[in-house]
Each structure stands twice: as structure tokens, then as C-alpha cells.
Amino acid sequence: MTKSENKKNKIVLQLCYDYTFPYLDVARQYASLFKGTDFKVVTVFLVGKKDGKVAEQIQSDEVVFLENQSKDLRGLKLKQIRQLKELSKKYKFVFAIAHRYQAIYISKHIKKLPVIGVNHSFGKFRRFTRRWFLNRHKKNLFLLGVSNAVRDEMRSVLHGFPEEQIQTLYNRINVEQLKAQQVDKKEAREYLNLEQDKYVIANVGRLHPDKDQKTLINAFSRISDQISNALLVIIGKGRLENELRQQIKKLKLEKRVLLLGVVPQAVNYFKAFDNFVLSSDHEPFGMVLLEAIIAGVPVISTNAGGAKEIITDPEWLFEVGGDKKLSELMLRVYQLDKSKKDKINKHNQLWLNRNFTDKSVKKRFWLLPFIKNKF
């Protein structure tokens, strides 16, 4: 498709599987790339009922709900392909942004439509049938990973797919909006029912082997006697809850390690924390690290996946499963004076502003080779 043809009709399709967390904000992030340009964005959800609040939050030019159920997307997805072809006739999309493999698969059935497929996690393209499909349709197909780690994994499994057609576009955050939402330390602790005089180390995520809260609890047990007023707070639910409770009981930390379950809009209460730890054994990106940085909380993370692209100072990274090293880092953060904490937080926030805001990522998007050369 030539540039002159594009100028006649500048409607971009954003195709999303559904609007569950975190994909509602992902849709907003990508719609925001086109604000102030000649392009209009039509966001289409394959799964989920029509919801006016969802449409409002995305800030897209138009939102379409196809109202399928998850079970409808099994197999060849012929119904969804027909639905999208009808929309394509109406809007004459100039190109598509498709989130996750199902959306990429469906959008590539629109003849001659350039597709930018966004991959948000590891392992999604390892299946032979998916690799075969993507390679067979690599003409006018461009792939984005949410981190260099995800990008590099895609390049390693998609043999024969041109590397220049697989790039990175980071997830990003609306800094000013989140700052306005986050409440102060006192109010946050009152909401979470945490004592004001405690030193709070926190983790937020599913209680799942991928998040490796076991290592975090073991690390905390190593320093619990040295920081007598410390609490470890874990926010989230998941299949490991009973196992983690047994671990806490065995270590006799029932009053020191708190599993708070699901906290709606938990990010609004991050200022309750004195230290934030990401213990995941592989992390495609690490949005929760950005949220903690905006709250002004010192962060520690594993060096797995995309997390080390956010926490660039290796001093605050540890190897997966390294509870001894993690305990040492948590103790070091506790011992830092305010000036050193402020210096670390300033470094993290400068890096965030340079790489992970709507403004910085929008600039990078329009410089991507397959965007710059075509549009």
C-alpha cells in the first residue's frame, strides 16, 4: 500500500482479545499513539459484552464490541474472521495493531492488510502451528515485543522471519494520571489496615510459581529478626495461596507476613510501602515496577526477563531464586538514609520518564522502521 493511498483513508484497526486486566490499559496505551495525528483508531474487542465505561477509558475514536465468548474463539475462528471482514469493508483500515496471537491470526485473514502484532509474554510463539502461520504470512506482518527480552525470544523461535520486522515497543504508563490517583502514605496504610509505625516490604502479583513469592518469604525470614518492626505484605490471589500460608506457618511468621488477597486498584496504595520487591522467575515486562517507582518506593527485582530493562542499576537486582542475596538487598534498603533513597528514586524516575511514558513511547513508535517507511 503506497503513502498516497494511505492518505485517502487513515483508519487504524486495534484488535484486542478482551478488556480484562491489564489489556484495558494496553488498549488505551496504543490508542494514545495516534492522538494529534491524522489517523483515527477503531478499537475492536473480540470477547466481552458491550460496556460504555470500557469504551470511555480507552479514549479511542470508536469502540466495537463483537461480544463473542472465549469458547467461540476455539478452532479456526471462522465467525470472527467474517466479523472482521465486514468491519474492514466498512472502515477500509489502513493497517492493524493486533494484541496476542488470536488477534494476529484473525487480522491476517484480511487481504493485503498490514498487521502489527504485539506480543505481551513469553512462549506464545513456540507452538509449531503458530510459528508456521506467522512465517507463512510474514509479508506485511510486523511484530512487537513489550521488552527486549520478549523481542529476543520471538527472534530466536521464528526462524526465517526477518529480524528487522521484530522490534521492541515498551509498555508505558500515564505518569500524571497515576500520581493523581495514588494516595499518601497515611491514607494508604489506613486503607490496607497496616500500622503506621511498621516498615513495610511489599509484593503485588498473582500467587503463582512464575511470581516466586516463596523465595521472597524465605528471604524475609532471614532478616525478620534484624528488622523487628518489618512486615512483608503480599497482594494478590492464586493457586499457591495455601502453600504459601503453610510456608509462613512453618517459619512462624504469621504475624509478620500478610497475604492481603485482591485489593481493587491496589496501585493507588503503593505509597504505603517502604520497599517493593519483584521476585518473578521470568517477567515479560514488569509494569508493577513502574507503578512503585512513581510512588517513590525503592525497588528490588530479579534480573529475569524485561525487569532488568526497568531497573538498570545491577546493584538492586538478584538472581532468580536467590533468597540470600535478596535478603541482603532488603536489609541494605532498610539501612539507607533518606538522601541515598532520594538519589536512587530520582535515577529510576528519570529512566522511567525517558523510556516508559506515553510521550516517549509514542515518539519511538513513529520511528519504527516499518511505520516510518510506510506511513
Per-residue pLDDT tens digits for 10-57: 999 999 999 998 899 999 999 999 999 999 999 999 999 999 999 999
Site of grid cell 512513581: 294
Cα gap 346→312, rounded to integer Å: 13
Per-residue confidence band for 8, with pLDDT thresholds at 50, 70 and 90: low
pLDDT in tens, 284-332: 999 999 999 999 999 999 999 999 999 989 999 999 999 999 999 999 9
The DSSP letter of residue 120 is -
Q: Looking at the structure, do residues 350 and 361 belong to the same domain, yes or no?
A: no
Which of 72-76, 146-150, 266-270, 272-276 shows the lowest mean pLDDT across its residues?
Answer: 72-76
* Predicted pLDDT of residue 9: 63
Q: Looking at the structure, do residues 281 and 165 belong to the same domain, yes or no?
A: no
pLDDT in tens, 210-236: 999 999 999 999 999 999 999 999 999
pLDDT in tens, 320-348: 999 999 999 999 999 999 999 999 999 99
Average pLDDT of 47-76? 94
Q: What are the cell numbers at 296? A: 517513590
Q: Looking at the structure, do residues 59 and 185 belong to the same domain, yes or no?
A: no
Q: Looking at the structure, do residues 195 and 281 belong to the same domain, yes or no?
A: yes
Q: Which residues, 6 or more positions from 43, have their beta carbon under 8 angstroms from its beta carbon?
A: 14, 16, 27, 31, 58, 60, 62, 63, 64
Please tell me the total count of domains within the chain: 2
Question: By percentage, how much of the chain surpasses pLDDT 90?
Answer: 94
Q: Looking at the structure, do residues 361 and 292 belong to the same domain, yes or no?
A: no
Q: Looking at the structure, do residues 204 and 279 belong to the same domain, yes or no?
A: yes
Per-residue confidence band for 4, with pLDDT thresholds at 50, 70 and 90: very low
Could you tell me the CATH number of the domain that includes residue 266? 3.40.50.2000
Q: Looking at the structure, do residues 366 and 337 belong to the same domain, yes or no?
A: no
Per-residue confidence band for 374, with pLDDT thresholds at 50, 70 and 90: confident
Name the residue with higher pLDDT: 8 or 272. 272
Note the pTM of the prediction, 2 decimals: 0.92
Q: Looking at the structure, do residues 133 and 278 belong to the same domain, yes or no?
A: no
Q: Looking at the structure, do residues 193 and 341 belong to the same domain, yes or no?
A: yes
Q: Looking at the structure, do residues 138 and 201 belong to the same domain, yes or no?
A: no
Q: Looking at the structure, do residues 145 and 284 belong to the same domain, yes or no?
A: no
Taking all residues of the chain, what is their mean pLDDT, rounded to a whole number? 94
* Predicted pLDDT of residue 282: 87
* Cis peptide bond N-terminal to 284, omega within 30: no
DSSP string, 5-56: HHHH--EEEEEES---TTHHHHHHHHHHTTTTSS-EEEEEEEES---HHHHH
Cα gap 287→357, rounded to integer Å: 12
Q: Looking at the structure, do residues 13 and 143 belong to the same domain, yes or no?
A: yes
Per-residue confidence band for 372, with pLDDT thresholds at 50, 70 and 90: confident
* Predicted pLDDT of residue 2: 43
- Which residue range(s) make up the domain with 159? 3-172+357-372
